[in-house]
Amino acid sequence: MGWVRYAARWERVCVRHGRWQLDADADQELEYLDLRSLPEVVAARRRWAGVARRAVRSGVEPERVFALAYAVVARWWEQALHWEEEKVWPRRLHQVAGGNAGGELERWRIVGRDAVIFPEVVAVADALLDPVMEQLVWVDSGAERPRPLPVDGAFCRALGERVGRPWLGPLAATDYGGPLIAWMGAVVRARRGHNRPDPYAKDRWWVRQELQPATMAGQLRVRAKEKRAPGSGTNWRAVVPAEQRFLITNLLGEAEEQVLLLRGAQVGPTADAARYLLETLSRGTELLDRALMQIMAVRGLAFSGQASDRLFHAAIRNVSYSAWTSRGGR
């Protein structure tokens, strides 16, 4: 039996035919995506060759640079459902879906992700190799006078501009626990010469396993399992009257606002910050509970606790998906 070699992500573009080769192990019928209406994806394939050469000159394997940039941008992709300013990715996704992904947006977000985000992955990889960008991280950190990385730092602002999103800086800077912040921390530690027992502490190109993007095949399996689960609630909007839909959507929106208010909650005296954090979390939880009760009341079903959780999270996803469907589609 022969071995199957999977092409690396940067090798998925067929420049000649304008196609993106999909994973062969995913349980779906498509072999490739049509890129003929997305010249920027094909151009990114050509640009990657230069980025890879720069990586070699810098003494790092191109694969590691790409893996980190891919983790950073794939994380943005998940967060972008809530970014009203994001217009590029919805447009690209609708195009690879043949004009409009609206009916199956969740599936197309899984299948089309790697092709749609490829130009930004290459741009981020290029930025992470740039000594000028590294210097911005050092300056943002306070250099020899350490300080917390600021929300409006020059590095994240410049990174947003390099990927064509000047509004992205504060969002990237506050993604605590993500691969980009981890990279920035490693840069600062290396500059300061900190000696930590963890061998990966100063390895700026290492991506922790939990931060590595889920594969297309893995996501499709999870989606299929959720659809088979009774009471999954993935189609809750279809059975909810318009006036109730409006109420539920507003409750979810208010809850999201409460969560967003938590940004910066750690600033100030400890007692005040803790009180603010608890009050805001309490208000957000109350709103989420009310939204869940509305959904359950409208459907008139007696869900188990587990099924209720699935229904609620599906409702949140669908509210976000509806916003993407309205962006970039015909």
pLDDT tens for each residue of 122-137? 999 999 999 999 999 9
Is 220 in contact with 110 (CB distance < 8 Å)? yes
d(C-alpha 307, C-alpha 319), whole Å: 18
d(CA 115, CA 45): 11
Strand partners, 14: 19
Partner residues linked to 20 by β-bridges: 13, 33
Around Cβ 16, how many Cβ atoms within 10 Å?
Answer: 7
Rounded Cα distance between 91 and 42, Å, is 16
Half-sphere exposure of 8 (CA within 13 A, CB side): 12
pLDDT tens profile 168-189: 999 999 998 899 999 999 999 8
pLDDT value at residue 8: 83
Tell me the two tokens of residue 58: 């810098």
Name 227's Cβ contacts closer than 8 Å, sequence gap at least 6. 234
Cα 145 to Cα 11: distance, rounded to the nearest angstrom? 43
How far apart are the C-alpha atoms of 57 and 55, rounded to whole Å?
5
Tokens of residue 225, six digits: 């399992």
CA distance 85 to 106: 20
* Residue 230 buriedness (CB in 10 A; 0-12 / 13-18 / 19+): exposed
Question: Given the structure tokens 């995913």, which residue do they identify?
Answer: 26
pLDDT number for residue 303: 43
SS (H, E, C) 155-213: HHHHHHHHCCCCCCHHHHHCCCCCHHHHHHHHHHHHHHCCCCCCCCCCCCCCCCHHHCC
Residues 6+ apart with CB under 8 A from 240: 248, 295, 298, 299
Look at the alpha carbons of 208, 212, 218, 222 in this order and tell me if their dihedral is positive or negative.
positive
**pLDDT in the model for residue 90:** 94
Position 281 scores a pLDDT of 59
3: confidence class by pLDDT, cuts 50, 70, 90: very low
Q: Are 226 and 312 in contact (CB under 8 A)?
A: no
Q: What's the pLDDT tens digit per position in 46-83?
A: 999 999 999 999 999 999 999 999 999 999 999 998 89
Element (H, E) at 13: strand 13-14
Residue 123's H or E segment, with its range, is: helix 113-128
Q: How many helices (H) and strands (E) does the chain have?
A: 14, 3
Task: Indicate the range of 7-11, 87-91, 104-108, 160-164 predicted with least confidence.
Answer: 7-11
Which residues fall within 8 angstroms of residue 6, CB to CB, at 6 or more apart?
Answer: 23, 24, 25
Mean pLDDT, the chain, integer: 79
Q: What six digits make up the tokens of 160?
A: 């947003």
Q: pLDDT at residue 265 above 60?
A: no
Question: Any idea how long the chain is?
Answer: 330
Q: Report yes or no on whether pTM surpasses 0.95.
A: no
Identify the band that residue 1 occupies on the pLDDT scale cut at 50, 70 and 90. Answer: very low
Domain layout of the chain by residue ranges: 9-217, 229-325
Q: Which residue has the tokens 């626990």?
A: 177
